[in-house]
Amino acid sequence: MEWTGARYADRPTVEVHTWIAASPTQVWALVSDIELMPRISAELRSVEWLDGRSGPAPGARFIGRSAHEALGEWATTSHIVEYEPSRVLAWAVEDAQHPTAVWRFTLEPRDGGTLLTQWMQMGPGRSGLSFAIDRMPEKEQKIVFVRMREFEANMTVTLEEIKKLAESARTSGEASL
C-alpha cells in the first residue's frame, strides 16, 4: 500500500484478492462462516450471532470482539448489508447507515476456480481510531496510513488462510472444515 495522505473523513479503502482453486460454493462455505474468522484473524477474537440467528442473512447482526496491542480490546455490533450467496457478503460495523467501517467479501468464478476479494472502508462513523486522531490531530494522515497497512496485511493473511482451507477441502473431497 502506497502513501495516500488520506484522512479519516476521506473514507479510505483497502482491497486484497486471491485466486482459489475451488468453486465459489466451496469458498462461500468458508467466507460465510463468521465463526471461522477468529481462528484466522490477527485481531478478531470471537463472534456471536444475535437475535437467534445462526448464519448470515439480510439484516442479521453479530457481535465481534477484537483486540489490538495499541488499541486495546473492544466489541462491535455488525449488520449484514449485502448478502448474495456464493457472490457477496458485506457488513457495516455499529450503525448500518453511518458505519465505523464496512467490510465485504466478493466471490467471482474465474479460470475454473474463484477470485476472492476482501474490501474494507474506514468510516464515516467515528471508531476507536478517531480517539487516537483526536489526541494527535497533526498525525492523522500517518495514523490512518498505518492502520490501513495493518488492515491490508491482516486481510492478506485471512485470504491466504481461506485459500488453504478451500483448496485442502477440495483435494480431500470435503466441503468444509
55 belongs to a structural domain:
no
Per-residue pLDDT band at 170 (split at 50, 70, 90): low
Q: How far apart, in whole angstroms, are the C-alpha atoms of residue 6 and residue 84?
A: 31
Q: How far is 166 from 22, CA to CA, in rounded Å? A: 6
CATH of the domain at 112: 3.30.530.20
Q: How confident is the model at residue 172 (pLDDT cuts 50, 70, 90)?
A: low
Look at residue 3 in the predicted model and tell me its pLDDT.
Answer: 72
Task: State the residue range of the domain holding 28.
Answer: 8-42+83-171
Q: In Å, what is the CA distance from 25 to each residue of 16, 155, 164, 166? A: 20, 21, 15, 10
Number of domains the chain is built from:
1
Question: Residues 39-65: pLDDT tens digits?
Answer: 998 889 999 999 999 999 999 999 999
63 in a structural domain: no
In a domain, 37, yes or no: yes
Residue 56 forms part of a structural domain: no
Q: Has residue 51 been placed in a domain?
A: no
Q: Is residue 76 part of a domain?
A: no
User: Contact, 65 vs 74, CB < 8 A?
Assistant: yes
Query: Which is it for the CA torsion 84, 88, 91, 96, positive or negative?
Result: negative
Q: Which pLDDT value is given to residue 42?
A: 85
Report yes or no on 22 lying in a domain: yes
Predicted confidence at residue 76, as pLDDT, reads 94
pTM of the predicted model as reported, rounded to 2 decimal places: 0.90
